[in-house]
Amino acid sequence: MSAGLTKGCENGGGLICNLMQSVLPATWAPAVAGAIAIVLVVLVALATRNVANRLIIRVVRRAASSNGSSIAGRLRGKQNIPLEGLDAVAAERRRQRAETIGSVLRSVASVVILGTAALTVLDRLSVPIAPLLTSVGIVGVAVGFGAQELVKDFIAGMFMLLEDQYGVGDVIDAGAAVGTVEAVTLRITRLRDNDGRVWYIRNGTIVRVGNESQGWARAVVDVPVAYASDIPAVRELLQQVVDGMWNDPAYRDTILVEEPQVWGIEQISDTAIVFRISAKTIPSRQSEIARELRLRVKSALDRAAITIAG
């Protein structure tokens, strides 16, 4: 190893070697110059890593705070409909995705920069690098075979974050479980279902995802009435109910720009006629609107003495 420290002074040396030879004895200069070169390599590597991390953090913060065209701006088609909550959800998802990807990029940058510095130092010390690289390659292949599932989880997690398939607060159906996303990492997704049970699902095992919280949702209510009911009268009554919901200020921030609609007769049987009502809502609020619609429909049918079919 001591012989490796003198490697930099071979073939005429360099700036450091020449400087050391001018101020130190000839027997000491090569070793001191080699040690200084190694220290400089380490310092440059650490400085480069620090700069790379700062650049990545700056890019991540800019990506996380980038507004673009807001969801509220795209969906608002009627004045005085505050949909800023949608923008807050989108901003939180964008922040989390950017920070996770930034963490991965910082780790990759650290491995590349520090690994290159380590190989440079070993070369300065005259340590044979080729056998070392061969050994590392063999170990890497062995670890790769043993960690296939882990690699699969990480790759799936990266694509999930890049494609913004879901984020914290979304209600999703991941196949293995249905619930609200509480945490998303490169390896696992944590869900909490309606019973309060927490599910940890490896990203690599998620084959398909149904997201109920992106963009908008739809509340659908079926209204069964007796077969002998007056169809035009029932339809008019249901239209009055949905018009009342649309004009109610209490639901102005929940029902989106499209007015609730009475789609008409959905099913016919020998005992009932089923009408269907639809309302487009902000994500994860469709159940609330559906419950309110059922309550208003029931009250309206009772006032009109229209029988609800069993």
Confidence at 15, pLDDT banded by 50, 70, 90:
low
Number of domains in the chain: 3
Q: Judge if 18 and 94 occupy the same domain.
A: yes
Confidence at 146, pLDDT banded by 50, 70, 90:
low
- 135 three-class SS: helix
Residue 160 lies in a domain: yes
Q: Judge if 191 and 221 occupy the same domain.
A: no
**Predicted confidence (pLDDT) at residue 254 exceeds the cutoff of 50:** yes
Question: CA torsion 283→288→292→297, rounded to 10°?
Answer: 70
Instruction: Indicate which CATH number applies to the domain containing 198.
Output: 2.30.30.60
Confidence at 95, pLDDT banded by 50, 70, 90:
confident
- pTM (2 d.p.): 0.56
Q: Judge if 275 and 224 occupy the same domain.
A: yes
Helix, strand, coil percent values for the chain (each to nearest 5): 55, 15, 25
Cα dist from 86 to 83, 115, 286, whole Å = 6, 43, 14
Q: Judge if 67 and 158 occupy the same domain.
A: no
CA 161 to chain centre: 4
Instruction: Indicate which CATH number applies to the domain containing 266.
Output: 3.30.70.100
Nearest alpha carbon to residue 218 among 268, 266, 276, 274: 276
Give the sheet arrangement for strand 210-211, strand by strand: 198-202, 188-192, 178-184, 171-173, 210-211
Residue 88 lies in a domain: yes
What is the DSSP pairing of strand 272-281 with strand 217-226? Answer: antiparallel
Q: Judge if 261 and 174 occupy the same domain.
A: no
Q: Judge if 231 and 264 occupy the same domain.
A: yes
Q: Judge if 199 and 159 occupy the same domain.
A: yes
Question: CA torsion 32→37→40→42, rounded to 10°?
Answer: -110
Residue 308 lies in a domain: no
Q: Judge if 77 and 37 occupy the same domain.
A: yes
CA dihedral for 69, 105, 103, 193, sign (positive or negative): positive
DSSP 278: E
Q: Judge if 117 and 229 occupy the same domain.
A: no
Residue 116 lies in a domain: yes
Using the 3D structure, point to which of 211, 229, 256 is the last residue of a domain: 211
Residue 145 lies in a domain: no
Residue 93: per-residue pLDDT:
65
Nearest alpha carbon to residue 297 among 271, 262, 267: 262
Residue 87: per-residue pLDDT:
57
Average pLDDT score over residue span 91-113: 78
Cα dist from 76 to 35, 65, 188, whole Å = 66, 22, 35
Higher pLDDT: 176 or 227? It is 227
CA 186 to chain centre: 9
Q: Judge if 19 and 51 occupy the same domain.
A: yes
Q: Judge if 49 and 115 occupy the same domain.
A: yes
**Predicted confidence (pLDDT) at residue 23 exceeds the cutoff of 60:** no
Confidence at 14, pLDDT banded by 50, 70, 90:
low
Give the largest Cα separation in the chain, rounded. 113
Residue 28: per-residue pLDDT:
58
Residue 132 lies in a domain: no
- 216 three-class SS: coil
Q: Are 225 and 275 in contact (CB under 8 A)?
A: yes
Residue 133 lies in a domain: no
Using the 3D structure, point to which of 127, 162, 180 is the last residue of a domain: 127
Residue 134 lies in a domain: no
Range of the domain at 224: 217-303
Q: Judge if 83 and 158 occupy the same domain.
A: no
DSSP 307: P
**Predicted confidence (pLDDT) at residue 276 exceeds the cutoff of 90:** yes
Using the 3D structure, point to which of 211, 246, 278 is the last residue of a domain: 211
